[in-house]
Amino acid sequence: MTERLRIALQKKGRLAEDSFSLLKKCGLKFSIRSGGLLARVKNLPVDLLLLRDDDIPTFVATGAADVGIVGENVLVEEQLSSPSKLDADIDIRLGFSRCRLCLAAPSGGIIKSPGDLNGTRIATTYPGVLGRYLSKNNITAKAVEMKGAVELAPSIGIADSICDLVSSGATLEANGLAAFVSILDSEAVLISSSRALSPQQSEIYHKLCSRIDGVLKSAETKYIMLNAPVEKLDEITALLPGSDSPTIIPLAGTEKLVAIQAVCTENIFWETLEDLKALGARAILVLPIEKMMS
Ligand code: PRP
Ligand code: ZN
């Protein structure tokens, strides 16, 4: 049994870039050569396998890789279209590469809702997820399976609507299509199988998961510093999102003002800063937190 932890990753695309950047934030040092299928991590016993996204769930399920990072859309599709249940489950939802799998049809056309799909053709690269949706909703329609460029199917006349991923919506708009229902929400996920890892691999995987957890938490967590009038202290501290006991420090030369410092575990919006200012808070600073471990 190999002692290095093998992580399956998408070799190119948006999800790929964000996965590499997450692993780098977790302290893994590596460089990706274009066209390379394997990247060795220099400072930890970890190998990165660079694959086509559709192959990642199977690699993890069969043990060709130990764990993987993949879009939930790909995981669900591979599970539904695989002849036997794939041994691959989500360990951590990573929060990036969010998108929706949607049904969409030509804007202003006759298909405006799922009810209009009966007896029509739907082009997709997701026959598994689409099939599950159609049968759950008692819709009889023909799935036209494609390998890509699904958006073109209605205009070239091979389908009446499409079932495809939507992120910003720009691709649909550019092709004169409008989404009318979303059938799956997706984000990048960290997956593993139920197979036991070697003690060393397991130790590395635990370390990696705890670092990922720290990276995800610190992305939302901010350090806030401000000066506040003493008489508004309670009101001001009540506004700090997700902080339990802020530090209160006296300020030189005044008894009317104190400095407040706190770790806020939730996003601090501009509205919160405006409310703090309205209560008399001044010199408000919001700082990012680079690393966290609890
Ligand atoms: C997806 C999808 C659409 C596009 C939607 O393709 O198939 O073409 O993104 O994004 P938008 O709503 O922001 O325009 P992707 O780039 O993932 O490539 P693929 O279809 O080859 O996997
Ligand atoms: Zn793809």
Residue 281 inside a domain? The answer is yes
**Ligand 1 neighbourhood includes 253 CB (under 6 angstroms):** no
Residue 48 has which token pair?
A: 């990165």
**Ligand 1 neighbourhood includes 167 CB (under 6 angstroms):** yes
Residues 90 and 195 in one domain: yes
Residues 9 and 128 in one domain: no
Distance between CA atoms of residues 41 and 28, nearest Å: 6
Count of structural domains, the chain:
3
Q: What angle is formed at CA 238 by the lines to CA 234 and CA 243, rounded to 5 degrees?
A: 120
Identify the domain boundary among 186, 201, 233: 186
Q: How many residues does the chain have?
A: 294
- Percentage with pLDDT > 70 across the chain: 99
- Segment 120-124 shows an average pLDDT of 98
Residue 265 has which token pair?
A: 């575990």
**Ligand 1 neighbourhood includes 148 CB (under 6 angstroms):** yes
Residues 116 and 143 in one domain: yes
Which ligand sits closest to the CA of 152? 1
Q: What is the pLDDT of residue 2?
A: 62
Distance between CA atoms of residues 15 and 213, nearest Å: 18
Residues 26 and 43 in one domain: yes
Q: Please write the tens of the pLDDT for every residue from 239-290.
A: 998 777 899 999 999 999 999 999 998 888 899 999 999 999 999 999 999 8
**In 3D, which of 172, 187, 181 has the Cα closest to residue 102?**
181
Q: In this structure, are residues 65 and 4 in contact, taking their beta carbons and an 8 Å threshold?
A: no
Residues 77 and 213 in one domain: yes
The CATH number assigned to the domain holding 172 equals 3.40.190.10
Tell me which residue range forms the domain holding 25.
Answer: 5-95+188-218
Distance between CA atoms of residues 186 and 216, nearest Å: 17
Report which ligand 1 atom has the smallest distance to the Cα of 15. 17
Ligand 1, atom 5, residue with closest C-alpha:
166
Distance 62 CA to ligand 1 centre (A): 28
Write the DSSP assignment of 86-100 as a string of letters.
---EEEEE---S-EE
Residue 293 inside a domain? The answer is no
Q: What is the pLDDT of residue 1?
A: 52
Residues 68 and 20 in one domain: yes
- Segment 57-64 shows an average pLDDT of 97
Residue 294 inside a domain? The answer is no
Structure pTM?
0.87
pLDDT band at 294 (very low <50, low <70, confident <90, very high): confident
Residues 169 and 277 in one domain: no
Which ligand sits closest to the CA of 11? 2
**Ligand 1 neighbourhood includes 152 CB (under 6 angstroms):** no
Ligand 1, atom 22, residue with closest C-alpha:
148
Name the DSSP letter for residue 265.
S
**Ligand 1 neighbourhood includes 196 CB (under 6 angstroms):** no
Ligand 1, atom 7, residue with closest C-alpha:
165
Q: Please write the tens of the pLDDT for every residue from 151-205.
A: 999 999 999 999 999 999 999 999 999 999 999 999 999 999 999 999 999 999 9
Mean pLDDT of the chain: 95
Residues 242 and 232 in one domain: yes
Report which ligand 1 atom has the smallest distance to the Cα of 166. 12
